[in-house]
Amino acid sequence: MCGRFAITHASDAMARLFEAAPANNLPDIPNYNVCPTTQIHVVFREDNGRRLVPMRWGFVPRWYKTPTDGPLLINARAETIAEKPAFREACRQRRCLIPADGFYEWFRPEGGDKLPWFIQPADEGPMVFAGIWQEWGASEDRISSCAIVTTEATGHMAEIHHRIPVILQAENWAKWLGEEGRGAARLMTAAADETLTFHRVGTAVNSNRAQGPDLIEEID
C-alpha cells in the first residue's frame, strides 16, 4: 500500500511540468509527511486541458452519506479496480496523476519493530502515482477526493512491502489521463528496481505530526 509520501516540488514548477492550469488554493509545499485525509496535488484532464488542483486523499464513494460513512479508501488495488463498485467508474472515466518526491513504507524484521524506508526515483526527478478521483456531495459540501492505485510489488520493493504504488513514467502520463485512447490498464505494473532507490529513515516519521527534511534523510 501507500500510506505516506513526501512532496517538495513547487506548485508552479509542477504546473509547468504537467502543462496544467493551477488552482489558486493548492496545498502548502514542502510537505515531508503527507498523510491520508489531507489535501494533495492532483492533475486531471478537463475538456479544455489539464488542471492542477487540491483533492482530499481518501476516495469518497458516491453512496457514502458522509465522508466518514465507510472505510478510508486511500489506495485502490490494480487487480480489482475495474470490478470494485467504489472504483470501477472512476477507473474508466476519472483517472489522475498524483505527484510526489517519494513515499514511505514500513518493514517489520522478524521479532522486531516496524522500520520506515523511503523510496524515491533513482534519477531524483518527480515521482508520479497513478490515481483515480471522484466528487462527492453538492454545492458548499462538495468534496473532490482521490486514491492511489497500487499493485503487487516485485524485486527489492517486495522485501520491504508486498504492495507498491503504480508509478507512471512521463511518456505514459497522457495515456493514463485518457488523452491517447485506450490502454491505461497495461500501465498498472510495478516499477523496475533500477528506476528506484531505497533507504532507511528515522522513526520520527512514525508520527503523522512530524515534519521537516530530516524525515527523508538516510540513516545507517
Q: 91, 96, 105, 146: which is the annotated catalytic residue? A: 105
For cell 476519472, name the residue: 94
2 a catalytic residue: yes
DSSP category for residue 141 = G
Domains identified in the chain and CATH numbers: 4-214 (3.90.1680.10)
CA pair distance 175, 178, nearest whole angstrom: 5
- Of 11-25, 49-63, 100-114, 205-219, which range is least confident? 100-114
Identity at 173, one-letter amino acid code: W
Question: Which candidate, 62, 63, 88, places its Cα nearest to that of 77?
Answer: 88
Q: What is the pLDDT of residues 121-149, one digit of tens each?
A: 999 889 999 999 999 988 778 999 999 99
CA pair distance 51, 57, nearest whole angstrom: 17
Sorting pLDDT into bands at 50, 70 and 90, what band is 1?
confident
Cell triple for residue 218? 538516510
Q: What are phi and psi of 79, to 5 degrees?
A: -65, -25
Helix (H, G, I), strand (E, B) or coil at 41: strand
Q: 2, 91, 96, 146: which is the annotated catalytic residue? A: 2
Which residues, including other chains, have CB under 8 Å from residue 188's CB and lie 6 or more apart? 78, 81, 130, 149, 151, 166
- Class of residue 173 by CB neighbours under 10 A (exposed 0-12, middle 13-18, buried 19+): buried
CA 61-18-205 angle, 5° bins: 65
